[in-house]
Amino acid sequence: MFDSLSDRLGSVFEKLRGRGALTELDVRAAMREVRIALLEADVALSVVKQFIDEVTERAIGAEVVRSVTPGQQVVKIVNDALVSLLGGDAPEGDNQLNIDVTPPAVIMMVGLQGSGKTTTTAKLAKFLTEKKAKKVLMASLDVARPAAQEQLRVLGEQTKVATLPIIAGQQPVAIAERARQTAKLQGFDVVLLDTAGRLNVDTALMAEMAAIAGATKPDEILLVVDALTGQDAVNVASAFKAEVPLTGVVLTRMDGDARGGAALSMRAVTERPIKFAGTGEKLDALEAFDAQRVAGRILGM
């Protein structure tokens, strides 16, 4: 197995050293290797196809600088295209949370089961409290998973962030409205709504999510996605996007060793910025998303 795209392309181009420009044939041979590398990194097939088409066009006829091998040249073209797709050239501020609104700003977290929503809610609350001097309230709308509300309450204690008192039996939309109302009356700047995990194919729960969003008009709706996600990323991204107006993505478990191709799929399908990366279980393990680094990782560099 080739470990990195550079190795793969190195063998494709071994015979081509010293050429002036890449021919269409050279590029197509290289792109077959790029395709496999991206698929092994779990970039979704439809996204790979589109990406390969675009990059092939860009690479055909590209000058091969004398000092570098054609392989490196193609890697650079691929890498630059990846960085740009991942949001690397997006304007400063694109990754910022839109919370400087008439308080309280509402941030809603959504995603599949176990993707990291509750943990990320607490991480964001801690970040906004400590780094942005915001007064933050967290509320769990998860009435499905055993001890989900208790989990957020404990995280609130650990981060010293207020959590909405739990009222047994109250349903998600009602909890969300109570959270917003409480935040307004008690002068909170930001209210974070942690929702239950739901499958994109579960129409009842997807509708419930839309109802919560409809009732609270969030300023941010963040799709929380596991960096280990495979090809299903496209289904997830398109289904959640179709149901609620997503404003961004959070990629969790970036502390793992997955290539993280889901980042590209998410970005391509939602057309929303990846605003944060989760890099651990601890509550300060939250970073700004770094397109450059993730591109390198997807390519195994």
In the complex, what is the shortest distance from the CB of residue 146 to ligand GTP, in angstroms, rounded to a whole number? Answer: 8
Residue 90 · residue 101 · CB < 8 Å: no
Give the residue, chosen from 114, 187, 214, 245, that forms a contact with K ion under the rule CB under 5 A: 114
Residue whose CB is less far from other proteins, 97 or 227 = 227
Residue 106 · residue 217 · CB < 8 Å: yes
Per CB under 5 A, 118 contacts Mg ion:
yes
Give the residue, chosen from 123, 126, 253, 297, that forms a contact with other proteins under the rule CB under 8 A: 253
Residue whose CB is less far from other proteins, 130 or 255 = 255
The answer to whether the peptide bond before residue 70 is cis (omega within 30 degrees of 0) is: no
Q: Cα separation of 292 and 290, whole Å?
A: 6
Per CB under 6 A, 278 contacts ligand GTP:
yes
Give the residue, chosen from 26, 208, 226, 243, that forms a contact with K ion under the rule CB under 5 A: 226
Phi, psi of 105 (to 5 degrees): -75, 140
Q: Work out the number of other CB atoms within 10 angstroms of the CB of residue 135.
A: 17
Residue 258: name the closest of 227, 234, 236, 280 by CA: 227
CA 78, 277, 41, 113 dihedral sign is: negative
Give the residue, chosen from 69, 73, 79, 115, that forms a contact with ligand GTP under the rule CB under 6 A: 115
Q: Cα separation of 121 and 213, whole Å?
A: 16
Q: Cα separation of 85 and 265, whole Å?
A: 10
Per CB under 5 A, 149 contacts Mg ion:
no
What is the total count of residues that contact ligand GTP (CB under 6 A)?
22
Per CB under 5 A, 252 contacts Mg ion:
no
226 forms bridges with which residues in the sheet?
252
- Helices 70-85 and 291-298: angle between axes, nearest 10 degrees: 130
Per CB under 8 A, 257 contacts other proteins:
yes
Residue 68 · residue 144 · CB < 8 Å: no
Stretch that binds other proteins, among 79-87, 128-136, 224-232, 241-249 (CB under 8 A): 224-232
Interface map 276-295 toward other proteins (x if CB under 8 A) = -----x--------------
Give the binding site for ligand GTP (CB under 6 A).
111, 113-119, 142, 145, 148, 196-197, 199, 252-253, 255, 278-281, 285
Give the binding site for other proteins (CB under 8 A).
35-36, 39-42, 44-45, 112-116, 144-148, 150-151, 153-155, 158, 199-201, 226, 228-232, 235-236, 239, 253, 255-259, 261-262, 281
Give the binding site for Mg ion (CB under 5 A).
117-118
